[in-house]
Structure 1
Amino acid sequence: MSTSLAPAIPTTTSLAVAGSWSNRSLTLPPLGNLDAYISAVNRMPLLSQEEEQYAARRLRDHNDLDAAGKLVMSHLRLVVSIARQYLGYGLPHGDLIQEGNVGLMKAVKRFDPDQGVRLVSYAIHWIKAEIHEYILKNWRMVKVATTKAQRKLFFNLRSKKQGFRAEAAEGDTHREALSDHEIDVVARDLHVKPEEVREMETRMAGGDVVLDPAPAGDGEEAFGPIAYLADGTHEPTAMIEAAQRDRLATEGIARAMGELDDRARRIVSERWLKVNDDGSGGMTLHELAAEYGVSAERIRQIEVAAMKKMRKALAAYV
């Protein structure tokens, strides 16, 4: 994901607004300079409660985009502050800020000034929600949290572990895994099962593994973990299924054919088992009927009865 911060920052922006914003002009730096961006948004003036209420009503009642811009720009420093709390997940700070800006704009769009709360209190939820969603989608190739309980556990387990390590004796600070007692404490505090805490800790401790061979240029002998994977034809389940099919096709068929009399055995063999060199099958119903001096319908009846008897015999091999 790009770190351009495009949702909240035009390439150069000059702001001049009412109230504390009047007679003030602020030009944001070019895109791509994160430090300059953070410095710029921290210099932006904050709106008073009256100014915020006025801008929010202008947006709600008149769809005033200038008012929406004032609300967004005056709270960009809040996004930077919140995004900084999630740097421990190893994702780019710029991407976290960008996702938080998306949440801020959603909050501004839905903010109701008549509810009696400041926008900052309302926007925190939306900003964190967007950042959480981004982290869960990009922290690992495979999602580590899908349910609401797992998401809550994911974003609280790290801080819980840090708290335990801060309280631990100096000689134990090297220990990474949670003890059984610590797992029980986390499970009780977050209202989840201890087994779920253990599973999430295992997921978070693991990392993504690249299975493909190493890129060209690292030497012909370089290879990735995929080289250790077994041939699919030797997978245990596939081998068992193949052995069962072979046993059914040899021992099973031979035993089932042994249950038939000579005439039924020859009819089944000609109709189902015989294959000529040209790929054609054996004799037809009419050819067998002529040989045995009966009707083709009678041959078909004998064939049906023989197949039923064979299926019973083959049941032991399925």
Structure 2
Amino acid sequence: MSSKNDKDRKTLEGEVLGPEEQNEVFEELDEEFSGLASESDQTEEEQIEALETLLPTIGTSKDLAKTQQVKPHDPLYQYIKEISQYKLLERDEEERLIKQLTETGDIEAAKKLVVANLRLVVKIAMEYRNAYKNIMDLIQEGNIGLMKAVSKYNPEKGAKLSYYASWWIKSYILKFILDNFRLIKIGTTAEQKKLFYNLMREKERLMNQGIEPEHKLLSENLGVSEKAVKEMDLRLSSSGAEMSLDQKLGEDSGSASFLDTLPGSDIPIDDNLGHLESLEILEDQLKNFIEELKPRDKEIFKKRLLSEVPPSLQSIADDYGVSRERIRQIEARLIEKLKVYMSDYLG
């Protein structure tokens, strides 16, 4: 990413900024709001589509996103409750603010547009919860993408702001996942790979038909053992606090849920990203990366980053006759090297 984007991320690092706390970021972005009406976004749009196609989309089930649970004092719950106080803009009000922004670069208009779409970021981030456990980090990145979308939006191209913003939000979230993922060995057998690629998709298909996706039924439909289904289901399940989009935001039973406050379903969350194709692309690049490593680095990489149960640093250190700290340094260097390799590949 550019140094400007890095600065945006540094400003937000460590927390998800609430609607009233984003002034500093907006001031830093102020220069980007000038001359918007004449700026072309074609290159950025093409880059977003390319990134969306290349990145893995593990665990983007919308049904899973609706089954998360959190406690009232959880930061996610508090954040959702806060942003839900802000009403969605009426179409004429949104158009007025967009016109004001594109014609004059009015920073206050930009703020209002961003605040009104913060719920869209949460909606999209929840769909990637299985790919990255810290949902607040994903919301943070999505908020940066939303601000970028507002700064780049050109109404003359015909797309709604929410539609255009959804691609920026998703691209920032997906790029963040790619930059920060820890490689996990999903499995090496044909059965395990088949499950990894198809289990979530089959569960969603059954639930959409009103059928409970029991392990036995899933095993029959996918042609694998019931035991394998149970193991993979557990492996792909989210851990820690979970959030329900149907959970009430207030204390009384008549309170609205966060789901009630979300934008309509006219925001396309692309269902045709090609899960298998994306994963195969990533797998091919990973193989190429590993082949370029020196023998010792290759072995340490596989043991520490590709094993279901990685051996301890001390265990590997004993094997090579070096210190535990030396192995930790090698691991950190390999992770950073992989990030650079993947970033160069994605352009």
TM-score, scaled to structure 1: 0.46
Structure with higher RCO (Cα < 8 A, 6+ apart)? 2
TM-score, scaled to structure 2: 0.43
